[in-house]
Structure 1
Amino acid sequence: MLDPDGRQIFLPERGIVILAYMRASQRSEVSREILAGMLWPDVDRSIAFKNLRSTLLRLRTAGQLSEVPLAADGKMIRLQSDALRSDLDCFLPGDDKLSRLRLIVETMKEEFLANARNVNGPLKRWIEGQRRSYGELLRAAVIDASPIASERADIRAVKIACVQILQRSPNDMDIRNILDRAKIIETGDAPDRLFAVPHSLQTTPDTAISVTPTPSQAERPLLPRVALLPPDTAEDSRVNGSVANALIEDVTIGLCSLRTVSVVAPFTSERIREADDKAAVLEKHGVIYALDTKRSGEGLFTQLIFLPTDEIIWAERFPLTAEGLTTQRSEISRTITQTIARQVEESATAQLDFEARPQMYLNYLQGMQHLSELSLPGIRRARKKFRETLRQYPDFAPALAGMARTLTTEWLLTARGDEELLAAAEQKAKAAVHHNAGLAAGHRELGVVQLYLQKLDESLEALSIAETISPHYADALYSHADSLVHAAKPKDGLNKIEKAIELNPLCPDLYFWTAAGASYFLGEFEDAVAYVGKMQDGRPADRLLAASWGMLGEKSKARSCRQRVLRDNPSFNLERWLEVVPNRENWQRELYREGLIKAGF
């Protein structure tokens, strides 16, 4: 709310809602009873009227308004409409269709009353109805203006409007066709005039536009939703003059032409980027795939994440040099668009599984969350959740893979060489591969358990398959690195684990543990200590840390680690442990033995 001089006036929220209700409904007066029941539906009638009186009083005394646009008597409240201008004025009929469209597009970046709180009952239903109505008006404005759009700015307004409509109605094929043709015009592959709108869509000012889905549209399944998060917030982008944000907006518009996905509009994606809890906002908007981007030097780093499993299914770096941007921009946009489309199609089955069984999905996600706790209580809680998932869907491969991981991790943490744990883990991993041979996680878990069963060649083969299926699946790279270290290739293992950490900077402790092991077998004991130091909980790596301190001659630190190992696992036996650690070469076993003996084991 601004006064006639443009200064902001701070009004009670319900007061602004009253003004918006009357202005949007085009009602010059409304009864107190209607407003009280709409704004406070869940309280006693007398309290609702008291709240209304208080709100009206605060409206009259707010700021320095020379004239209050609202008047009231005992029964009615009246709006002096000529004293109040609104951003809704852009929807009024006008002769300049293109200017009107640009104004509507700018206004529709925000949802109607997007920040209203405690909205329920009749007020919630009214707001939702208004949002649908403005969506219909936007659609009508696109249809009216698109035939006469010829300038770049006008064509861009048409494109952005189409994206806004498709965010709400992804199955609107008429709007998709308009967007397709707008893109063709902008790239110069067709005459300057945009295109002719089908006769069935042409409108006159007196014709109401209905966007109620046709039966064929209504029967179409919901499309998986994609959000492309720009590398900068909107404010940072303006300060830095970020071409990367503009590129991601172009890619977003390009994806909207696809019939296989629903895309979150650029403005919404910028808001998600700004959010403190991005995961919660992505879930709120029903996003299945998120393209996370960040600037890296003179380039753009992108990674496509399948949110149900938090799996990176694709990643790439693109140069964004000033010299090459003009020629690279369309190629980068095309590459990202095509890759996302292909990846979405390949993982469509998994997406449908999660949508069809929401409780199964919740149990699975809770299991994955517990798996991040590198402790026996954590992995046992995860196993319980995976069991609940499998009760509902016994063939669900991701949960079978998760079960396998809990068993191998327990084997590793207890350090007792329990063969039954590994046998059960192998059975679960093989079942995951059997039920979904295209799931990288299944091959990854099979490779891990085969490593601990000392089937090193089979382990490397399974992990290579996992990496081939999903080259940017950081967990698969980490496990592959671990097997390479045990296969007496610590340098290759360190290179691969460093790539995994780059793909997943906020990585689990296991990544650093593997990097520490690779460094140890390369004789870089200080690096091994440093990697363990990066773990949030370094206790599981105390054996390796003790050996590293032992090789560095730091006896007191080595013995301190040894005491922690024996306190957590009093039955630890050095020779038995060396027998079950799956090292291919004898020199690895002897180097590890030397460090542990120097540590006092």
Structure 2
Amino acid sequence: MQFSLRTFGEVVLLDSAGHEVAFPEKALLILGYLLTGETGYTSRTSIARFLWGEDDIANSLTNLRKLISRIKKRQSELNADFMTFDDTDIHLVRSSLTSDLISTYADASDDQSRNLPLLVRAVQSTFLENANCQSRAFVDWREGEKKRHLAALKEALEIATQRQATADEIAIIKEAALLLFEAEPADENTHRILLKVFDAEGGIEQLKRLFERRKDLVSSWPARSPASPRSSIPAPTFDEAISEHDLQTQPILRIPRLALLPPGNDSADTAALMVASSLIEDITLGFCALNSLRVIAPYSAMQISRQTENQLALFQQYDINYVLDTRLSGLGNDLSLFSQLIYMSNSEVVWAERFNFGKLDLARNKRDISRHIVLEVAGQVERHETTRIYFEQNPAAYHQYLVGQQYLHRLTLPNMRRARKEMKTVLRESADFAPAMSSIARTYSKEWLLTARGDIELLKSAEAYATQAIEIRDDLADGYRELGVAKVLQGAIDESVEALELAEALSPHYADVIADHADTLTHCSRPQLALEKITHAIELNPLSPDSYLWTAAGASYALGQFSETVEYIGKMADSSLADRLSAASWAMLGNSEKARFFVRRTRETNPDFDVDRWLAIVPVKEQWHKDMYREGLKKAGF
């Protein structure tokens, strides 16, 4: 009968049928040790030290003699000799035993790439993981063997990447590359291999074009806008933000850390989930290859994803700055993968995109999708890190800025005025802190909306602060965002759309910018596009502030979707902000009782409200849109 020794995972002896055969564990460790040696024999003294250590060699030799007696007895019972013994040495009988180690130590002249599937399976299962032996000699030997396994894997992988591979071979190559990355995340040779596997060289040029496109948009703004002259602080070029050398080999001073979570599944399509999981593997390879951020090992990401209660604590514990979260949903032609990049410090959604699998052959296109995700995310992380460094240059100002931001989330006059006070304190700490200027501009615009008195000085102040913010930092979206809001409320709708288009180009996944762009499009009498944009903003920021829902309600009203309008308003934390719109919607739905209720509530807070005076100052581009709003308000009883 032929026997085999399995050393990866649990160390066991197997018969020809693959069944486990009882044999002393320390005897199996001796077999593993002899199989990895060149001569096939070693001294009894060496084996005694290997199994029991150096402390009491006489006692160790006594233990070995007892073990040899048990081995001889068991070999006799099995009618097989795996080892023979003389007075000084222990000899391996190679002909009686095979092992999962043999492929790892093939002749150097062999093509090691043929062993790649075996090596992958071997390295995935930890070598002698649970062996009950703690001597220094054993531990050192086991660690040395693990290094040899990785070296063999790397050699086989390098050979495999130098020739055309079949589809099956590509899957093994990817798996091997991920194993290598988990073991040696900082090794330059590992990154070089990953570059070959992912073919990232072309992707670097794509990433460079992404940065250049944003720079061109910013530089073209003066020709299209009456905004003030540019600041002497230029937008960062691609070379300043990220270089090809950094991407491929050199770590930067602070490389952000990313956790790529396995895809969640809201779909019943299990086959699609398998392909999506394979896509995530491709994406992981791409991040490893680009080396512009550190990716935690897939196994660790899997363990984190399974924790539902203490995920945030784990992200902090492992110093994870960004999380790429993916979710599969829908069926058939509606099947899609939603991906979003989240900055963990403040839960900001930095980037997001939905891929519709119903319109794509995912099996054929997943490589292109993975490259797109990798390059987009790498670019967004670089942009976000550059911005973050600017924000944190003055810690005192930044802290005060965060305090002020808290008041901007609730749309009440006291909160707007408190936020303005806090932001002016920021400017006393740091006079050129552009985000604080943008926030002050926002408080003036919101005050104009909340008072409904048409005070043009509030909007002029908003425009002045927004313009000043752009002068200081023309590569940040917030200044253009607030300029766009101030412009639309003054009736300069085309200029507003232009400013917000640039804001969205600079931060294409900034939910607040998208929401304001949607609001401007509503004023521009383009409600369908506005509703699409605000729906996207809500998807990016599902715990949406009231302003998002207010915008969605306004767009729905302009589309004649009055039931949807009151549904959006009903989701607001403070629906009184939209009482006028509620009254008009219920009137258009024919419910005069509910319409009169909201008219009375509006009169309580604003007794002087007049429909015609209000509509004269509300910026709406098309007359049909203004007439529709007037009709609803008049029907309601205003």
Could you tell me the TM-score, scaled by structure 1's length? Answer: 0.64
Match of 1:423 in 2: 460
In 1: Cα distance, 2:364 partner to 2:258 partner: 26
CA contact 2:324–2:341 (8 Å) conserved in 1? yes
Q: Percent identity, aligned pairs only?
A: 43
1:439 equivalent in alignment to 2:454? no
**Given the alignment, which residue of 268, 286, 301 partners 2:300?**
268
Q: CA deviation at 1:223?
A: 1.1
Structure 1 unaligned blocks of 5 or more: 1-25, 29-93, 109-133, 186-216
CA contact 2:154–2:180 (8 Å) conserved in 1? no
Match of 2:215 in 1: none
Deviation per CA, 1:526-572: give whole Å up to 9, x if none: 33222212323311111111122233332221222123323344554
Match of 2:291 in 1: 259
Change in 2 beyond 3 A, CA 1:568/1:220: same
Change in 2 beyond 3 A, CA 1:599/1:241: closer
CA contact 1:233–1:270 (8 Å) conserved in 2? no
Deviation per CA, 1:136-178: give whole Å up to 9, x if none: 99878644652255687875565334433566x5xx4344235
1:455 equivalent in alignment to 2:473? no
Change in 2 beyond 3 A, CA 1:309/1:364: farther
CA contact 2:514–2:537 (8 Å) conserved in 1? yes
Q: CA deviation at 1:279?
A: 5.5
CA contact 1:224–1:351 (8 Å) conserved in 2? no
Structure 2 unaligned blocks of 5 or more: 1-50, 54-100, 106-115, 128-141, 161-168, 201-248
CA contact 1:490–1:519 (8 Å) conserved in 2? yes
Q: CA deviation at 1:336?
A: 1.6
In 1: Cα distance, 2:587 partner to 2:352 partner: 40
Residue type of the alignment partner of 2:191: R
Change in 2 beyond 3 A, CA 1:569/1:139: farther
Match of 2:155 in 1: 147
In 2: Cα distance, 1:532 partner to 1:162 partner: 53
Residue type of the alignment partner of 1:399: A
Q: CA deviation at 1:346?
A: 3.7
Match of 1:567 in 2: 604
CA contact 2:174–2:282 (8 Å) conserved in 1? no
Change in 2 beyond 3 A, CA 1:152/1:333: closer
CA RMSD of aligned residues (A): 4.4
Instruction: Give the SS at the match of 2:264.
Output: coil
Q: CA deviation at 1:440?
A: 2.5
Change in 2 beyond 3 A, CA 1:553/1:399: same
In 1: Cα distance, 2:280 partner to 2:570 partner: 37
Change in 2 beyond 3 A, CA 1:224/1:359: farther
Match of 2:181 in 1: 163
In 2: Cα distance, 1:280 partner to 1:431 partner: 39
In 2: Cα distance, 1:139 partner to 1:560 partner: 77
Match of 1:293 in 2: 326
Which of the pair has the greater relative contact order for Cα pairs under 8 Å at 6+ separation? Answer: 2
Stretches (4+) displaced over 6 A = 97-104, 134-141, 150-154, 236-240
Match of 2:231 in 1: none
In 2: Cα distance, 1:240 partner to 1:353 partner: 42
Match of 1:176 in 2: 191
Instruction: Give the SS at the match of 1:408.
Output: helix
**Given the alignment, which residue of 545, 555, 558 partners 2:582?**
545
In 1: Cα distance, 2:426 partner to 2:52 partner: 53
In 2: Cα distance, 1:380 partner to 1:267 partner: 49
Q: CA deviation at 1:310?
A: 5.6
Q: CA deviation at 1:590?
A: 4.2
Deviation per CA, 1:33-73: give whole Å up to 9, x if none: xxxxxxxxxxxxxxxxxxxxxxxxxxxxxxxxxxxxxxxxx
Change in 2 beyond 3 A, CA 1:283/1:154: same
Alignment length (residue pairs) = 457
Match of 1:317 in 2: 354
Match of 2:530 in 1: 493
In 2: Cα distance, 1:136 partner to 1:562 partner: 81
In 2: Cα distance, 1:402 partner to 1:362 partner: 14
Instruction: Give the SS at the match of 2:599.
Output: helix
Q: CA deviation at 1:452?
A: 1.2
In 1: Cα distance, 2:407 partner to 2:145 partner: 47
In 2: Cα distance, 1:262 partner to 1:514 partner: 39
1:228 equivalent in alignment to 2:245? no
CA contact 1:162–1:176 (8 Å) conserved in 2? no
Could you tell me the TM-score, scaled by structure 2's length? Answer: 0.60
